[in-house]
Structure 1
Amino acid sequence: MTTPFIEIGPVTLVGELVRLEPLTMEHLADLSVAGNHHEIWTYLDEPTPGEDEMAALIVDALDEQARGLRLPFAIIERADARAIGSISYIDIQRTHRAVEIGWAWVTPGHWCAGVAREAAVLLIRHAFETLGAIRVAFKTDSRNIRSQRALEGLGATREGTFRNHRILRDGHVRHSIYYSVIPEEWPDVAP
């Protein structure tokens, strides 16, 4: 029996609060302003980006997209049509029909406002209902309690910890906590 592959490509997804649209350099100005907050980058192992650093992050994301490794989105606040963050499908496993949602960040003025949750739900819905995925994963730094609470509030299952998973730029040895949602759990996650 042959398992169908995930056919993944750029798409626009629309919710009540946000629109996810394919990331482009046109988002640079908004994302440079939205991302200019140190607290966003604490666990993403990146320095607080100015415009040049944000441009490099976008170029890297688009390069990974061209190589089939990532599908990056700009998170657009529908109320004023500004980019307020970014989120991506990463670790795309076409054969195993699995994706990870990562590189997710939103400007602090929109924390606890439902936009990050809605962005994640849009990507989970698309993964299960359109792409036919059998697994959507997330990982977070073990120190990032806010992210862990958000994933648990979303209904994702905590799977375990990859100890000594990465050495960060500052020399800290990161433990990564993995979460996932599978199709049988999706009805409990869907808003």
Structure 2
Amino acid sequence: MNELMELGQPVLTGRVVQLEPLTFESTAELAEAANHAAIWTYLDEPTPSTSEAVSALVTEAVEEQDQGVRIPYIIRDRKTGAAVGSISFIDIQPRHRGVEIGWAWVTPEHWSTGAAREASYLLMRHAFETAGAIRVVFKTDSRNLRSQRAIEHLGATKEGVFRNHRILRDGHVRHSIFYSVTAEEWPEVRRTLDLWREELPVE
């Protein structure tokens, strides 16, 4: 019998970011980071411009964690110590040892710093090398070209498009593009990402 995938929620430290478990205490830190409309264009949520709105998002994440369907993290800039975004394990399938990385965002000023890519790398490394995953998935809105490029730069393989996948709050019918990395692909994906990470500043 296959062993179950066990993700846990350890602190994960990289060269430019550190991932820490998202808790209710994270609300105040995330309130400023999240207040950028550009972040939320394709996330199907209104821009959380108030602490109450951010609190609602954090509450939802924690409740989903209690239900066993999400493991949310706060992304912290190692240089400044500031909270700059969030990322989560979602669609967790322990028996099939598969998981999706989603609900990922960082502040616009960190879009070109390597923060988001390293955050995804840290979750992939943990999933494959510690938790025993055999498949890690990413998906994005078909309109979100920046996100598609970012996922492709992670070394993920495009699997296809789920047409009419979701109806968003504004009524738009979203097509979702799915990508994945498998356990067999991970060693080469990691080698490529490790070479990229060597060029990042050490904090």
Query: Same fold per TM (> 0.5)?
Result: yes
- Matches of 2:82 and 2:168 in 1, distance apart? 31
Q: Give the residue type in structure 2 aligned to 1:37.
A: H
Q: What amino acid is aligned across from residue 97 of structure 2 in structure 1?
A: R
2:10 is matched with 11
Is the counterpart of residue 143 in structure 1 residue 143 in structure 2? yes
1:77-110 Cα offsets, whole Å, 9 max, x none, are: 1111111000000000011000000000000010
4+ aligned runs moved over 2 Å, structure 1: none
Give the deviation of 1:184 after TM superposition: 1.6
Q: Deviations over 1:101-155 (max 9, x none)?
A: 0000000010011000000000000000000000000000000000000111111
Q: TM-score, normalised by structure 1?
A: 0.98
Q: In structure 2, how many angstroms separate the alpha carbons of the residues matched to 1:10 and 1:183? A: 20
Q: TM-score, normalised by structure 2?
A: 0.92
> Which residue matches 1:75?
75
Aligned residue identity for 1:12 = V
In the other structure, the counterpart of 1:26 is 25
Aligned partner of 2:100 in structure 1 is: 100
Partner of 1:183: 183
User: What's the CA shift string for 1:24-80, capped at 9, x where partnerless?
Assistant: 122212211011000100000000002111100000000000110000000011111
Name structure 1 gaps, 5 residues minimum: none
The DSSP-based 3-state class of the residue aligned with 1:184 is coil
CA contact (8 A) 2:70 2:91 kept: yes
SS in 1 for 2:143: coil
Measured after TM superposition, the shift of residue 188 of structure 1 is 2.3
Q: State the secondary structure of the residue aligned to 2:169.
A: coil
Q: Structure 1 CA distance, aligned partners of 2:79 and 2:25?
A: 19
Whether the 8 Å contact between 2:17 and 2:78 is mirrored in structure 1 is: yes
Task: Name the % identity.
Answer: 63
Q: How far apart in 1 are the matches of 2:29 and 2:112?
A: 20
How far 1:160 moved relative to its partner?
Answer: 0.3
Question: Shift of residue 156 of structure 1?
Answer: 0.3
Q: Distance in 1 between matches of 2:9 and 2:153?
A: 28
SS at match of 1:163: strand
Structure 2 segments unaligned to the other structure (5+ residues)? 195-203
Give the total of aligned pairs: 190
